[in-house]
Structure formats: C-alpha cells, structure tokens
Chain A
Amino acid sequence: MTIQRKLSLAFAVILLLFGVNLAIYFWGSAERTRAVSTLSRALTRDSLIANMDQKLDDLHKQITVLSGISAGAGAAASSPQELRQFTAQLNRIAGNIGQLDALAGDAAERTEVDDFAATFAQLSRSWTRYYQDFGVQPDVAVMELALHAEPLSSELFQRRLPALQRGEEARVRQAKANFARASSITDRVSVGIFILTLLAGVTIALRMWRDVAAAIDDLTRGASAWGRGMLDHRLPERQDEFGQIGASFNEMAASLTAARESVRQHALQLESSNRQLAETNQQIEKQKQVSESLLLNILPAAIAEELQAQGKVSPRYFEDVTILFTDFVGFTQASESLPVEELIRRLHHCFTRFDQIAGACGLEKLKTIGDAYMCAGGIPTKNSSHPVDAVLAAFAMVEALEQPARPGTAPDASGEGGPAGAAPAAGPVPARPREADGATPWPVRIGIHTGPVAAGVVGIHKFAFDVWGDTVNFASRLESASEANGINVSASTYSRIKDFFACAPRGQVMTKENKAYAMYFVTGLRGDLQGAEAGETAAAFARRYQIYFAKQPPPLPSRLAAVR
C-alpha cells in the first residue's frame, strides 16, 4: 500500500472517528436538552400539583372543619361573598389543572390529568352544593358531604393526586436517568473515541515512521554502496512511493552499470584505437619524414616549407642569381660504347659529387638533364657571394673529376675524393668512371652567368623547383661555349668575381643564336691571393671573402690553393 493511500486511509479513519464523536455529541446534547426539558416540565407540573394539593387540602380542611367542628345548632347559610370566594378558589385549582393538562407530554399523562380533572369537577360540584346547602338544608349538606364529597375527596387525595405525583416523580426520575444516561454514553463514547483516535494516531505514526525509516535506511545504504562504486547493489522492492523511488534508483544504477561497462568498452576501444593511431602516427611520421626528406631532396628547404605550409609555392623574382651549367664532353660517344648500367653508374658518381660540392658551396641543385647538371647560387636564400661560390664549385667539380677517388668512399673536404670542405656523401660513392673502365674521365664544360631569374614550383606531381629567364638560357650558352674542364663565365659574372679569380677574356663569342657576348675563362685565383703555401692562399682568400661577404667562405679546392 502506498504512503499516500495509508495517509488517506488514516485521515478517513480519523475523520470517521471525528464524525462519530460529533454525532454522539449532538445526540447527547439533544438527549440532555430533551431530558432537561422533560425535567423542567415535570418540575413545573410537580410544582403545580403541589400547589393544587395544598389548595385542595386547605379547602378540604376548611370543609371538614366547617362540617363538623364549627357547625352548631345555629349555623347560618353561607353568604354569596363566601360562596364566590369558595368558587374562586375552586376555579384557581381548575386553572392549575388546565395548566397541568397543557404541560402533559403524552397520552398517559393526559389521561391521568383528565381523570384528576374529572374527579375534581365532581368534588367541586359536591363541595359547591354542600356550601350552598350548608345552613339551609343541613341534612342535605351532610348527606352531600358524606355521600359524595368525602368519597370524592378521598379518591382525589388518595388516588388521583398520588397517581399524578407518582407519575411526575417517575417522569422526573426518567428524565434524570435519561440525562445521566446521555451524559454517560456521551462521556464514554467521547473517551472511547479519544482512545481510539490516540491508538489510531500512534499506530499510524509508528507504521509510517517504521516504513519511512526503513525506506530511508535502504536509500542511504543504496546511495552509500553506489557512492563506493558498487553499482550492482539494488534497493529492495516496496509497494509504496519509496518503492517507486527505489525502482527509479535501481534503473539509474542499472543504467550507470551499463554506461560504465560501455565506457569501459569504449575506453578499451579507445586505447586500442590510440595504439593503432599511435602506430599510424608513427607510420605517418615516418612517411612524413620520408616525404620531407624527399621533398628537401627535390626542393630547397624554404620552398619545401612553403609548399608544406600553403600547398603551393608562389612564383618569385630573384634579381641576382648565378646559374651554373655543366656538361660532360664526350658523353654522347661514351653512351654509345658503354652499357647503360655503367653509363648511369658513372653519371650517378659524378652527379653525386656535384651534389656534394654544390651543397658545400651554398648552391642549390636545380636539376640534371641527361649528362647536364644545373645548379644556382643566390636562391632561394638571397646572398651576395653566389658568383664566387659558383666559381669555387666549378673548380671543385673539375677537380673532383680529375682527382682519383678511393673506391667505396665519398669525396670529402680534405681533398681526398672530393673538394676541400665538401660535405660527406650520404651513401656509398660509386666507383669513379675511370676506375671502372680504365678510360679517361669525362671532361666537363662549365658555364656560369649571373643575372635575374624567375623561380618557382609548377605542377602538382613530381615537384621540381626550377628557374626561368634569359639568365638561364645564357648560362646554358656559356656552358656550350666553354671548353673541356673550362669554366666559362659571362661579363656580369666576371665583374662579380674578378676580385677573387683570375680570368682570361675570350672576347666576343658567338652563341648559337648568332649573338656575340663577352666571355671569360676563369683560370684560377688572383695572384694577390696566392700564397707560398696552400694555407696562406686559403687564408688570404678567406680574409677577402669575409671582407666582401661578411661570412666564412666555402672550402677552397686544393687545386686553387696550390696554384702559385
């Protein structure tokens, strides 16, 4: 049973008890009122009867005394005034009887009063006749008195009046008894109902307290268990509102259990996913590193960063760039006689050295086209030393091709297998072409020109950082116009390197476009930079280099350092 229903039932019980108490109260009040009314009426009637009794007794005594004691031989008749007074007394008694009759409550009372009234009427007439005959017809008066009045008075005093009095006394007793009974019943019922109400209240309070306390205890234990994480704890089933709350809590606990299990599963999945993601990230990172490495291999670092950051590279215009072209002399004939693999191996060896040299001299390799190698200085990072750097790289390349290299080793900056100061090779350096076939290595033509170019990356696949412009074309023409192991520079380049290198003017040289340009072969260092030893030369070169460009120079090729 729900608490609401229990409370409603308790309220109904208390209301019923209250109603019963109220009904009993009203019944008792009505009974007492009726008893008091009856008692009052009985007392009034009793008073009337006593009054009549007294008056009748007085009249009776008067008649008795008059008839026997005071009557003498000379008794006179009653005067009219005496008769009127006597009749008036009788009438007053008759009036009292009328009042008594009016106060009669039931038929029995009325019958008693009627009998009394009838007897009194006869007695009254008899007494009146006696009074009328007294002194006039004494014998008739005495006979009236003896034969009628006295028997009637005897009946009246010995039967009717006592009957009336007994009736009134009985009614008074009955009224008193009714009053006492009503009071007693009211009191007992009130006390009984009070006790019942008290018992009901205490019982209801105890039951409610027990139920509520037990329910709260269950809830407290449940909350404590759930608080400790024991979500499998369940509240006991109840049929009241606390049962509904408990069911809701149980559902909540079940939901929490399911949610916790789901979270656990998700955590496991997430952990697994994280592991997979970490592995994937590692792979991605590796791939990224590979990609970045590859990207850095094909693009300058700054361009690669821009491409990674923006997804594209904006075309740029460089005012001052030095383009260096190389081309092997006799490569075409060699390609016809050598196996392809050997040809490629040689090219790989040479270009690997060139890559090292370009990197060491601060040049940016742009591309290879067949046996041609193209690199540039002053891009993408601008500087002012790029013409000198390009010439140094050209000398290093020529030197790298002329000097023998130890098999399996990369040329290095010490001059063993590479130009001085060049960065070590990333991998094993293939055997030099001369060592592979015993033939003379390929001489190389080198052309260098300084001028403006446009640079950028085009396309979306196989990115390549490239430069465009007349400077590029003219650099290529300079290479074409060069000689084996010759370093052919333009006038613009010459003007930038003449403080460092000695150059032999070639005059106006015709290009394949039939245009004449001033060209110079770089022969070596300027004389004023050459010392008695290689170290002095290098130091002098370095000093000038630092003065001109405010930085350390790249490694000076040993060929230049040794020249006197």
Chain B
Amino acid sequence: MDRHSTLLLKTLARWGGVGLALIVLAAAVEPKPRAQRSTPVAILVNPATRVSNLSLAELREIMLGNRQFWPDHQPIVLLLRAPVAPERTAVLHIIYQMSEAEFRQYWIAKIFRDETATAPKVVYSASMASELVVAIPGSIAFLEADEVQPGPKVLTIDGKKPGEKGYPLQ
C-alpha cells in the first residue's frame, strides 16, 4: 500500500492541485499508532551545530518547519525515521501532536503553499540516521536514546538530557 501511494504521489505532485488527493490517500494509509514506550527519544544534531539545548517550544518550531535556520544561519535539515518506527511515532505524538495522516497533510500543504523549501528527510534505520546527522551539516534527527551511537551531538530539552526526570520526550 505504501508503494502505491508513493507512486500516486509522484504522479499527482506534477500538478498543482493534488494536495487534497494526497491528503485523502494519506488518510487511507494511516498506520496504527504503536503502544507508547518508556525509552526516551534523544535529539541528535550535527556535531558542528552550535546549539546544545532547545526548549520544547523551539524544538516544536523546528519540527513544524517554522524555523528553518540555526542561529548561525545554517539550514536545518530534518531527518525523520520512516513510518512505524517508534521514535517517529513518539515525535508525532509528543511534538507534532498529529497522526501520520495529519503529519503528511501538514507538510504537503506547507510545501505547496511555498512556506518551506525543504521537508523532513526519511531515514530508514538508526544507523543511517546517525551517519546522516554526522554527515549533513545542520541536520537534526531523533533516535531512541539507547540507539544513539558516538558522533552526533545530543541536545538537551529544556536543559534536560534524555533519561533525566522531566525530559519531555519520554
């Protein structure tokens, strides 16, 4: 079903007025949310990024695409796990507070309203996410804290590290 929807999207994206169809299709393929886990989700950024802490609101602005540059004017590159991945589900639930369908609808609308030049890039594994975060300047990715590998910088949210009490992305 994902393949078909992808092909359809490729085709329909060539026309300007395909947003509504994409929304309908996205709603049709909305996956079932998994049961919440207790493993916190760590926020990884490129080691060269000069930011170490973000508030949850700032993180939310970044994830919604409303903030597209780091303070040093480095473009922010969103890396997001493919659907069904637990950290994606957690991010959708905690940060976006959207379902998968709403998430897709949100970004498609944003792209076709020319409110953003980029969209979250899909990564298919934790290792791929770690590698890309290190390789792509200004990138930001989400991984379960226990899957974090050396290399990327892990940000604190509201001054709290993953696993600490009060960390928002539990």
Using a CB–CB cutoff of 8 Å, the interface residues on chain A facing chain B are 57-58, 60-62, 64-76, 82, 138-139, 142-143, 145-147, 150-151, 153-154, 157
Contact in complex: A73, B2 (CB < 8 Å): yes
Show 10 A/B contacts (Cβ-Cβ < 8 Å), sorted by A: A57-B114, A66-B10, A69-B22, A70-B10, A138-B124, A139-B128, A139-B131, A143-B135, A146-B77, A146-B136
What's the nearest-Cβ distance from chain B to residue A72, in Å? 4
Instruction: Tell me, in angstroms, the Cα distance from A564 to B124 when the chains sit together.
Output: 218
Contact in complex: A73, B82 (CB < 8 Å): yes
The size class of the interface chain B forms with chain A is 35 or more
5 more contacts with CB within 8 A, not counting A70-B5, A143-B132, are: A57-B114, A65-B9, A68-B120, A72-B82, A146-B77
Residues of A within 8 A of B93 (CB): none
Contact in complex: A82, B135 (CB < 8 Å): no
Contact in complex: A74, B77 (CB < 8 Å): no
Contact in complex: B14, A64 (CB < 8 Å): no
Contact in complex: A73, B13 (CB < 8 Å): no
Using a CB–CB cutoff of 8 Å, the interface residues on chain B facing chain A are 2-3, 5-6, 9-10, 13-14, 16, 22, 75, 77-80, 82-85, 104, 107-108, 111-112, 114, 117-124, 128, 131-132, 135-136, 139
What's the nearest-Cβ distance from chain B to residue A77, in Å? 11
Residues of A within 8 A of B114 (CB): 57
Given contacts A71-B6, A75-B6, A76-B3, contact A64 B119 (CB under 8 A): yes
What's the nearest-Cβ distance from chain A to residue B18, in Å? 9
What's the nearest-Cβ distance from chain A to residue B116, in Å? 8
What's the nearest-Cβ distance from chain A to residue B32, in Å? 15
Contact in complex: B117, A157 (CB < 8 Å): yes
Instruction: Tell me, in angstroms, the Cα distance from A512 to B105 when the chains sit together.
Output: 202
Instruction: Tell me, in angstroms, the Cα distance from A150 to B121 when the chains sit together.
Output: 12
Instruction: Tell me, in angstroms, the Cα distance from A145 to B83 when the chains sit together.
Output: 20
Contact in complex: B136, A143 (CB < 8 Å): yes
Residues of B within 8 A of A70 (CB): 5-6, 9-10, 104
Instruction: Tell me, in angstroms, the Cα distance from A138 to B104 when the chains sit together.
Output: 20
Given contacts A146-B136, A150-B75, contact A64 B6 (CB under 8 A): no
Instruction: Tell me, in angstroms, the Cα distance from A75 to B122 when the chains sit together.
Output: 10
- Quick one: which of B16, B108, B124, B139 contacts A146, CB cutoff 8 A? B139
- Quick one: which of A62, A69, A73 contacts B14, CB cutoff 8 A? A62
Contact in complex: B2, A74 (CB < 8 Å): yes
Given contacts A65-B108, A69-B107, A143-B135, contact A82 B122 (CB under 8 A): no
Given contacts A74-B3, A82-B10, contact A138 B128 (CB under 8 A): yes
What's the nearest-Cβ distance from chain B to residue A389, in Å? 172
Contact in complex: B132, A142 (CB < 8 Å): yes
Contact in complex: B2, A68 (CB < 8 Å): no
Residues of A within 8 A of B131 (CB): 139
Contact in complex: A67, B121 (CB < 8 Å): yes
Contact in complex: A138, B122 (CB < 8 Å): yes
Contact in complex: A73, B3 (CB < 8 Å): no
Contact in complex: A65, B82 (CB < 8 Å): no
Contact in complex: A69, B135 (CB < 8 Å): no
Contact in complex: B13, A66 (CB < 8 Å): yes
Instruction: Tell me, in angstroms, the Cα distance from A69 to B104 when the chains sit together.
Output: 6
Contact in complex: B107, A68 (CB < 8 Å): yes
What's the nearest-Cβ distance from chain B to residue A217, in Å? 88
Residues of B within 8 A of A143 (CB): 132, 135-136
What's the nearest-Cβ distance from chain A to residue B81, in Å? 9
Residues of B within 8 A of A76 (CB): 3, 6
Contact in complex: A146, B121 (CB < 8 Å): yes
What's the nearest-Cβ distance from chain A to residue B138, in Å? 9
- Quick one: which of B5, B16, B112, B119 contacts A68, CB cutoff 8 A? B119
Contact in complex: A72, B111 (CB < 8 Å): no
Residues of A within 8 A of B128 (CB): 138-139
Contact in complex: B117, A154 (CB < 8 Å): yes
Given contacts A69-B9, A72-B6, contact A147 B111 (CB under 8 A): no
